């Protein structure tokens, strides 16, 4: 069964990302675009800073399609860099600041940035990661280096013709083969964010008067897209690098936040924070979430506390948001509907397909395929992976699910074994490769196990070699030298022998079934 979202009208009249700050800066120059800590940028300030940075990079010899790397925590300056890249045709490669040195080395080798902007705190790690690169980038601290570049007279960058299918962002997604892949999002795809949501019937209540809080990481397509949607309607964005529940509550009250994105895990944390406090409660108009469904119990508690509307987003780096479960569908009298991730947004079509590629009937389980105006151009430097993922314009998500008779999508499993922990995606093979480097580990299977706080936690089932076994914290410390902390196992079990296929391949599903009989490692 195929389900189509609404059509995006007047795609030839869209406001390009490169012109977004210019558009609002001209209509209301003093209107605040972004607030970060005690700093703020008006739309005119944002446009002026991005134009100056773009012009300086052009003067330094950067050309269209050159990469600009960014390795840092959330900052308002990230969006100055983003809009500068849009104006100059440069490609912004956003890296996860939690990468360990080997991971950063890989994405730098893959993306080959001409310029690498990074937080000063990461300078030693960046120095280590840049060793051995064939083309070391020009490195610059975000503070104070980048800010000093922006301190000067206005400059006008060389004009460029806007091209829909030129790459603008290279966002890295975890790889099923153990290495991340850089998904290329185009100028046109990112520019359509605003129009795709404007075409949805429940979108009309977003307004220039709104204040939107963004705590999602800049290296996530969801984080970038959420800010683009807010700036697209001329709203005020409160940006933060501190996603702690106490800070979210503080900023929401202090800044009069109307809209916020939180995964269900964080919604629960915020409710716990408020329950332990005597302070004021944020008065949101809308809460937006993704990464995992929200339970009816949690939804009821959140509605009782905030009294606002809720929407769930489903998507992936390769296709951005594809489905939304809107406010009208967050009806506690229909608990089955609450298990859905919604219907396609404007510009998106979805099909459930069988193994042979034929389209499933309503209610029949299969693989989710997506066609979208906002689909990635492909994986950078990976034509083989692109050809496997995108077939005749349709993206194979690797997720399993079914569509009901009304076109609502339900997820049933993740065909790629991906673990979602606290809203972050982790592929088992990344963790397995890190653990296998330990001299006391013979083999390992990594799975996700349910957790009330994180949704799932990374769990390692290890076949140890004879001798002294390392403890959980020792294993976590070992992993943290090789992979980001959120990917490291929070639970470890020991087994005498992992289940294997006749060819010797470890069977994760079978190992999961044997957990109850295994010894936990403290």
- pLDDT (mean) for 145-152: 96
Sign, Cα dihedral of 176, 182, 184, 189: positive
For residue 203, pLDDT beyond 70: no
CB 264 within 8 A of CB 239: no
Phi, psi for residue 25 in degrees, rounded to 5: -65, -30
pLDDT at 338: 85
The residue assigned the tokens 């959330």 is: 74
pLDDT at 503: 55
- pLDDT (mean) for 433-441: 91
pLDDT-derived band at 136, boundaries 50, 70, 90: very high
* Helix 17-27 / helix 76-88 crossing angle, nearest 10 deg: 110
pLDDT-derived band at 202, boundaries 50, 70, 90: low
- pLDDT (mean) for 480-484: 93
pLDDT at 415: 67
- pLDDT (mean) for 479-494: 95
CB 174 within 8 A of CB 417: no
Task: Return the DSSP state at 157.
Answer: P
For residue 13, pLDDT beyond 80: no
Q: Give the closest residue to 394 by CA, choosing from 369, 415, 360.
A: 369
Token pair of 459 as six digits: 């769990």
- Domains of the chain, by residue range, sit at 17-161, 419-520
Distance CA 68, CA 71 (A): 10
pLDDT at 382: 96
β-pair type (390-391, 394-403): antiparallel
CB 323 within 8 A of CB 315: yes
pLDDT at 372: 95
For residue 447, pLDDT beyond 60: yes
CB 218 within 8 A of CB 169: no
Is the bond preceding residue 144 a cis peptide, omega within 30 degrees?
yes
pLDDT at 291: 74
Distance CA 448, CA 236 (A): 37
Sign, Cα dihedral of 62, 63, 66, 72: positive
DSSP secondary structure of 320-338 = EEEEEE-GGG--TT-TTGG
Reduced to 3 states, what is the DSSP secondary structure of residue 448? Answer: strand
For residue 104, pLDDT beyond 60: yes
For residue 89, pLDDT beyond 80: yes
Reduced to 3 states, what is the DSSP secondary structure of residue 391? Answer: strand
Segment 59-71, tens digit of pLDDT: 999 999 999 999 9
For the whole model, what pTM was predicted?
A: 0.86
Per the prediction, the chain carries an average pLDDT of 92
Token pair of 291 as six digits: 């990464």
For residue 364, pLDDT beyond 90: yes
* Helix 187-198 / helix 221-232 crossing angle, nearest 10 deg: 60
For residue 342, pLDDT beyond 60: yes
Distance CA 261, CA 215 (A): 8
Token pair of 214 as six digits: 């963004």
pLDDT at 502: 59
pLDDT-derived band at 53, boundaries 50, 70, 90: very high
For residue 417, pLDDT beyond 90: no
pLDDT at 10: 73
CB 157 within 8 A of CB 88: yes
CB 461 within 8 A of CB 495: yes
Segment 207-227, tens digit of pLDDT: 999 999 999 999 999 999 999
Sign, Cα dihedral of 189, 195, 196, 197: positive
pLDDT-derived band at 193, boundaries 50, 70, 90: confident
For residue 73, pLDDT beyond 90: yes
Q: Give the closest residue to 106 by CA, choosing from 465, 350, 430.
A: 430
pLDDT-derived band at 7, boundaries 50, 70, 90: confident
Exposure of 502 by Cβ count < 10 A (0-12 exposed, 13-18 middle, 19+ buried)?
Answer: exposed
Segment 259-307, tens digit of pLDDT: 999 988 789 999 999 999 999 999 999 999 987 778 788 899 999 999 9
- pLDDT (mean) for 390-396: 97
CB 169 within 8 A of CB 184: yes
Q: Which CATH architecture best describes the domain 17-161?
A: 3-Layer(aba) Sandwich (3.40)
Least confident of 176-185, 253-262, 384-393: 176-185
Phi, psi for residue 51 in degrees, rounded to 5: -65, -45
- pLDDT (mean) for 301-323: 94
| Topology (CATH) of 419-520 | GMP Synthetase; Chain A, domain 3 (3.30.300)
Q: Decide which of 292 and 379 is more confident.
A: 379
pLDDT at 238: 99
The residue assigned the tokens 């129009």 is: 195
Report for 69-83, 189-203, 448-462: range of highest mean pLDDT: 69-83
For residue 175, pLDDT beyond 60: no
Distance CA 486, CA 102 (A): 16
For residue 177, pLDDT beyond 60: no
Largest CA distance in the chain: 71
- pLDDT (mean) for 61-88: 98
CB 376 within 8 A of CB 185: yes
For residue 309, pLDDT beyond 80: yes
- pLDDT (mean) for 319-327: 94
């Amino acid at each position: 069964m195929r389900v189509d979202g609404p059509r995006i009208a007047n795609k030839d009249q869209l406001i390009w990302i490169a012109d977004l700050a210019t558009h609002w800066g001209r209509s209301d120059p003093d209107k605040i675009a972004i607030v970060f800590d005690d700093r703020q940028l008006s739309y005119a300030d944002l446009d002026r800073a991005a134009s100056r940075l773009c012009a300086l990079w052009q003067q330094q010899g950067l050309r269209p399609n050159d990469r600009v790397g960014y390795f840092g925590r959330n900052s308002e300056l990230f969006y100055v860099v983003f809009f500068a890249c849009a104006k100059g045709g440069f490609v912004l490669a956003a890296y996860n600041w939690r990468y360990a040195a080997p991971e950063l080395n890989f994405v730098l080798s893959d993306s080959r940035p001409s310029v690498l902007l990074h937080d000063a705190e990461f300078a030693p790690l960046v120095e280590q990661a840049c060793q051995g690169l064939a083309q070391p980038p020009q490195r610059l601290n975000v503070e104070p280096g980048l800010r000093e570049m922006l301190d000067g007279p206005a400059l006008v960058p060389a004009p460029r013709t806007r091209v829909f299918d030129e790459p603008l962002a290279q966002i890295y997604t975890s790889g099923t083969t153990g290495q991340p892949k850089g998904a290329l999002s185009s100028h046109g795809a990112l520019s359509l964010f605003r129009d795709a949501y404007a075409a949805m019937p429940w979108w009309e209540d977003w307004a220039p008067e709104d204040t939107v809080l963004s705590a999602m990481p800049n290296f996530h397509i969801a984080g970038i897209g959420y800010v683009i949607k807010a700036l697209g309607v001329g709203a005020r964005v409160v940006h933060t690098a501190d996603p702690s529940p106490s800070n979210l509550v503080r900023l929401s009250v202090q800044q009069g936040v109307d809209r916020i994105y939180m995964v269900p895990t964080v919604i629960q944390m915020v409710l716990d924070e408020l329950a332990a406090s005597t302070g004021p409660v944020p008065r949101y108009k809308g809460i937006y979430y993704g990464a995992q469904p929200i339970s009816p119990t949690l939804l009821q508690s959140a509605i009782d506390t905030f009294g606002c509307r809720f929407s769930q987003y489903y998507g992936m780096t390769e296709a951005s948001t594809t489905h939304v479960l809107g406010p009208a569908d967050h009806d506690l009298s229909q608990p089955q509907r609450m298990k859905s991730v919604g219907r396609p947004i404007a510009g998106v079509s979805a099909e459930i397909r069988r193994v042979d590629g034929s389209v499933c009937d309503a209610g029949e389980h299969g693989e989710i395929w997506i066609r979208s105006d906002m689909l990635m151009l492909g994986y950078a430097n990976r034509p083989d992976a692109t050809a496997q993922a995108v077939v005749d314009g349709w993206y194979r998500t690797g997720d399993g699910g079914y569509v009901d008779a009304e076109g609502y999508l339900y997820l049933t499993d993740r065909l790629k074994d991906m673990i979602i922990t606290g809203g972050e995606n982790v592929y088992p093979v990344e963790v397995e490769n890190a653990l296998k480097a330990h001299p006391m580990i013979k083999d390992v299977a990594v799975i996700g196990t349910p957790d009330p706080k994180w949704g799932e936690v990374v769990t390692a089932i290890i076949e140890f070699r004879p001798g002294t076994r390392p403890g959980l914290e020792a294993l976590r410390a070992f992993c943290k030298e090789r992979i980001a902390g959120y990917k490291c196992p929070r639970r470890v079990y020991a087994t005498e022998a992992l289940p294997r296929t006749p060819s010797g391949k470890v069977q994760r599903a079978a190992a999961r079934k044997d957990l109850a009989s295994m010894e936990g490692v403290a």
